């Protein structure tokens, strides 16, 4: 689990990104629950949380997020307007996460508003929805419809962060030491 956290969540662990997602394979539900519990024991006192967004027979979609940052992201007027427009009845964090989980379970594709939960710029999430994922100006960690220059700077930071975190973790630095606390 620690290796997955470093591999897939380094920018979130470093405080550069609100949240990250990754798929985790497991043999039993107990094994999965134990891995999520272990992750939360490492993350929670630093302001990060880990939870299952979608469960399949032998894999789970794992969501690692900075609680305080996610609340701030979702409290922005543009984010609230988009969430309400696509069917969210509340813009409070927990009800939003529960509806996102529900949509992930029952929809064939990812609900496009998931970008808001990952800290993507609202204009890029709106652009993705409006253009149905086509005609983006640039593609990196997400499809960019807004400020390309700023997004490329962020993508470069994320890539560098991931490289440094993998290198440091590989040389024995613990996850707790790598996490930047809120």
Q: CA–CA separation, 23 vs 8, rounded Å? A: 9
Nearest residue to 32 via CA among 40, 24, 22: 24
pLDDT at 75: 95
pLDDT at 182: 82
Query: Residue 11: pLDDT above 90?
Result: yes
pLDDT in tens, 103-160: 999 888 889 999 999 999 999 999 999 999 999 999 999 999 999 999 999 999 999 9
Tell me whether residue 101 is exposed, middle or buried, using C-beta atoms within 10 angstroms of its C-beta: 0 to 12, 13 to 18, 19 or more. Answer: middle
Q: Give the three-class secondary structure for 53.
A: strand
Measured N-to-C along each axis, helices 2-13 and 148-170 cross at an angle, to the nearest 10 degrees, of 140
What are the boundaries of each domain within the chain? 2-170
First-to-last C-alpha distance (Å) of the chain: 22
Query: Residue 99: pLDDT above 90?
Result: yes
Q: What is the mean pLDDT of the chain?
A: 96
Match 């975190």 to its residue by tokens: 165
Residue range 163-182: average pLDDT? 95
Least confident piece of the model among 61-65, 88-92, 149-153: 88-92
């Amino acid at each position: 689990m620690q290796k997955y956290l470093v591999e897939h969540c380094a920018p979130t662990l470093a405080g550069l990104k609100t949240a990250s997602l990754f798929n985790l394979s497991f043999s039993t539900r107990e094994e999965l629950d134990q891995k999520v519990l272990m992750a939360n024991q490492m993350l929670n006192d630093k302001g990060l949380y880990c939870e299952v967004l979608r469960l399949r027979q032998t894999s789970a979609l794992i969501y690692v997020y900075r609680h305080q940052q996610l609340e701030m992201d979702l409290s922005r007027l543009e984010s609230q307007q988009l969430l309400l427009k696509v069917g969210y009845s509340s813009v409070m964090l927990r009800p939003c996460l529960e509806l996102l989980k529900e949509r992930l379970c029952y929809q064939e594709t990812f609900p496009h508003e998931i970008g808001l939960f990952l800290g993507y710029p609202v204009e890029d999430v709106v652009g993705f929805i409006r253009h149905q994922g086509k005609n983006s100006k640039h593609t990196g960690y997400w499809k960019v419809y807004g400020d390309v220059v700023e997004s490329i700077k962020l993508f470069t930071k994320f890539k560098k962060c991931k490289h440094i975190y993998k290198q440091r973790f590989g040389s024995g630095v613990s996850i707790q030491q790598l996490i930047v606390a809120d």
